[in-house]
Structure 1
Amino acid sequence: MAKAMKIAIVDDEKDMRQSISQWLALSGFDTETFATAEDALKHMGPDYPGVVVSDIKMPGMDGMQFLKKVMGLDSALPVIMITGHGDVPMAVEAMRVGAFDFLEKPFNPDRMTELAKKATIARRVTLDNRALRKELSDGSALMNKLIGSSPIMERLKEDILDLGQADGHVLIDGETGTGKTLVAHALHAVGARATKRFVLCSCAAYDEDELASRLFGPVGEGMDQPLLEYARGGTLVLEDIEALSAALQTRLLAAIDAQGSPAETRIVAISNLQEQGKSCEDVLRPDLFYRLAALRITVPPLRQRGEDILALFTRLSEQFADEYGCEAPEVSAQEAAQLLQAPWPGNVRQLINVAERAVLQNRRGSGTIASLLMTDAEDERPVMTTEGKPLKEYVEAFERMLIDNTMRRHKGSIASVMEELCLPRRTLNEKMAKYGLQRADYLAQ
């Protein structure tokens, strides 16, 4: 359950502060009171976890000056201003400066509660979106699943952040197993619709009549509304969009046009078209394609992500090792090179399978990572990609993985890592800086 948001009450009159505080506390809010704007500002910051209720007329720094200071700290922090009778022009000016709303004395307590609820909902959306945006850039929490710091993955994360804030329909394409559905989740999570419904529907999972019923109605058993209506205000993800029949493409186009702009329901279409030489543009009617592809993201294949492959393998093998109660396999320089060179036709999905099997092999004390990358049982050569990479890239990727693994194992103990890797302190520091590794990231593990 979400923690109750704070409401900072700023008023020089003690009775008014206490009255507002008691009323809002009874309504379920966590309140804190301040007699002066100066005192309140000491407790404010860009990510203050709540909203502000402030009187306009106060000695020292008045409400308008306070509002401008707060807007300077965080322009998205909701501030509800309380005005005296006849101060409506001042309240209008406060709205222009950035106030969330205003109440005129004497005010109805229920109206105060109503405004406080609206303000805290708006604030929670803002803070949640900020947290998700930070997770995207930091690669933590939800975005741990989008592991990688290669240039192509950094661009993907930037695209998610940018298009997530836009409101147009989106087409996501890319090879099978690259994580297109995860990207759709991320687009929704960092956008203005994050608090609304996120609905998934595979167009390839139903016959034409059933899919038509699910999308447009009349709905069958177990459904109250067609999905386009159920997802109103939120995001509807249509996986395998290329499976739509011509008739359903026509109906979807009509539904999109009927919504107008901005769209009531944002459509994120995912193309899994694997037919050689064909794209989603070839199988969708042009007018529908261009509406869905107003914004477009192509998720990169694993083989193009360089050292991300080793970072992913390390993370996945550690997770499976925890699950199976055993040690994660040590990766040799040769095996690291083989992981980097493999073509990965199944992309991340295939890497997950290889990591799990590698952990199970290691638990039994037999088998190698290389054996999992063979073309078949009779061919002793590991499958190699035709996309050659300079030796320097393999060496750096392995070196980064080795330092990362050792830091994890020793929980950030620099002395232990120096001893195991036979590296002087300065050299280790230089290499950690080069590869973007920070000791603080390992201390809490």
Structure 2
Amino acid sequence: MNSPLPFDTNSQVLLIDDDPHLRQALSQTLDLAGLKVIALADARMLDMASARDWPGVVVSDIRMPGIDGIELLGQLHTQDAELPVVLITGHGDVPLAVQAMRAGAYDFLEKPFANDALLDSVRRALEVRRLVLENRSLRLALAERKELQTRLIGQAPSMGRLRDQIGALASTYADVLIVGETGAGKEVVARALHDLSARKDGPFVAINAGALAESVVESELFGHEQGAFTGAQKRRIGKFEYANGGTVFLDEIESMSLDIQVKLLRLLQERVVERLGSNQQIPLDIRVIAATKEDLRQAADQGRFRADLYYRLNVASLRIPPLRERSEDILTLFHHFAEAAAARHHLSLRELDGLQRTALIAHRWPGNVRELQNAAERFALGLELALDNNDTHTPTTSNHVVEIPGLGSNLSEQVESFERVLITQELSRPHNSLRSVAEALGLPRKTLSDKLKKHGLNFNGVTNEDTEQGS
């Protein structure tokens, strides 16, 4: 019995006809026209599930033993309703072919037909197929971009670059190293990489290496057999084996002992795992995403982290900017978290006053987004906006001067930073033109346009012509 034949991604035309002479003649015609062809005598050899997103077209006779052209059309369209299928008909099959056209066939050719007619139909079908797949790809990219903007909120250029990097890496099989301070959102980035990948239906296993006791870390990660050590009363599947087909997220990887690092390096290189007490190598199909808050290169130089493991992990790396480096996102994030908390607790959300806004922007946020989220939660509950920070203070007024620490080393830098935050805040509000933004800020359009360029900001709701016009 023949095994199912998948759709070859290198082919452009799949030709199915049980007449060997006609099949050979049509194959030669398509081949001479520069089209790559797979010719089959029987549609039952096909794996129909492979039709999805195949970049080609199908040409099939209607009258065939086993699966005829009409039945084939139906099976193919259950997998991809937009796959072009051209049917070859005898004179008596024309009414049947017209019925098939109404059911979704792309075209039909009545025997005998000229070679040019076949080539014209196939080329038009290929162009339709190209446009369909191109539109699908664009829709998917837009959906992924929207998904990332929902998960990783912020208009700072550094966040835009981070989202672009995640979008580029998500569909690959590469392991990734995420570098970011405590509370910056390393697990959020790791989950985004998983959810936007082909592994999204597989498990996502998050492991905090720093929280594992040294006595159990090897068993937790790699598993063990019954009797492998005192207390091992039954076999245990380790985290890596449990994540087969999915993603493992290793947070605080810098806290791993050097002995465990050796085993992790071998796992990454060979993609196999051995349970404690076993000599059997278990193949793994996993993606490893590691995260650290330290400079692993420096740790390697100091002998606290294996250099070979660092270089193995650092093939693809992502840096999450700390919140203090993107002050323009602070108010947007605060409102997002506060609104979510108010909705969760069924409370009305009060407005921030000017001094509170200044305090939020001036704060250094050593706990990053996690600290900001906690502050927003307290605010939504009606509690005082208390910011716990040892190196900055809540802005206070003295002799009509407002001190805003953390925004710059001198007055000019503080003014520029605060200006950028105020413009970003206004851009996040509903506006249908740059004129509307300028009026809200009390600025001429040309002045606002110059400031947008200076601060690296943009307003998507206007044309280039509008941004270039002054008032």
For residue 290 of structure 2, what is the aligned residue in structure 1?
269
Assess if the C-alpha contact under 8 Å between 2:149 and 2:163 holds in 1: no
Task: Tell me, yes or no, if structure 1 residue 360 matches structure 2 residue 381.
Answer: yes
SS in 2 for 1:177: coil
* Other-structure match for 2:318: 297
Query: What TM-score comes out, normalization by structure 1 length?
Result: 0.62
Q: Partner of 1:243 in structure 2?
A: 255
Is there any run of 5+ residues in structure 1 with no aligned partner, and where?
Answer: 38-51, 78-125, 440-445
Deviation string for 1:295-354 (max 9, x for gaps)? Answer: 111111001012111111121122122223333232334332322221000000011011
Provide, for residues 243-264 of structure 1, a one-character-per-residue CA deviation record: whole Å limited to 9, x for no partner: 211211111112222239xx94
Q: Which of 93, 101, 122 is the equivalent residue of 1:64?
A: 122
Map 1:27-426 → 2, pairs under 5 A: 60=117, 64-74=122-132, 133-137=141-145, 140-141=146-147, 143-218=149-224, 225-259=237-271, 264-273=285-294, 279=299, 282=302, 283-361=304-382, 367=384, 369=385, 371-372=386-387, 381=396, 384-385=405-406, 387-388=408-409, 389-402=413-426, 404=428, 407=430
Contact 2:210 2:255 (C-alpha < 8 Å) held by counterparts:
yes
Distance in 1 (CA, whole Å) between partners of 2:82 and 2:168 is 36
Shift of 1:281: 6.6
AA aligned opposite 1:64:
V
Distance 1:229 1:56 in 2: 52
Contact 1:170 1:294 in 2 (8 A): yes
Task: Name the Cα RMSD after superposition.
Answer: 4.7
Distance 1:65 1:264, change over 3 A: same
Q: SS in structure 2 opposite 1:267?
A: strand
Q: Is contact 2:246–2:286 with CA below 8 Å preserved after alignment?
A: yes
Q: Which runs of 5+ in 2 are unaligned?
A: 1-51, 88-103, 226-231, 273-283, 397-402, 463-471
Aligned residues: 350
**Aligned CA distance change for structure 1 residues 229 and 332 (closer, same or farther; 3 Å):** same
| Amino acid corresponding to residue 73 of structure 1 in structure 2 | L
SS in 2 for 1:300: coil
Cα offset, 1:222, TM superposition: 9.9
Q: Is this contact kept in 2: 1:203–1:243, CA < 8 A?
A: yes
Q: 2: distance between equivalents of 1:332 and 1:136?
A: 36
Q: Quote the Cα distance in structure 2 between the aligned partners of 1:53 and 1:265.
A: 41
Report the residue type matching 2:310 in the other structure.
F
Compared CA separation, residues 305 and 257, structure 1 to 2 (3 A): same
SS of match in other structure, 1:178? coil
Contact 2:83 2:129 in 1 (8 A): no
Identity %: 27
**How many Å separate the matches in 2 of 1:30 and 1:334?**
57
- Give, in whole Å, the separation in 1 of the partners of 2:353 and 2:418: 12
Please say if residues 21 and 33 of structure 1, whose CA atoms lie closer than 8 Å, have aligned partners that are also in contact.
no
Task: Give the Cα separation in 2 of the matches to 1:159 and 1:390.
Answer: 30
Question: Is the alpha carbon distance of 1:331 and 1:402 closer, same or farther for their aligned partners in structure 2, counting shifts above 3 Å?
Answer: farther
The verdict on how the C-alpha distance between 1:242 and 1:12 changes in structure 2, with shifts beyond 3 A counting, is: closer
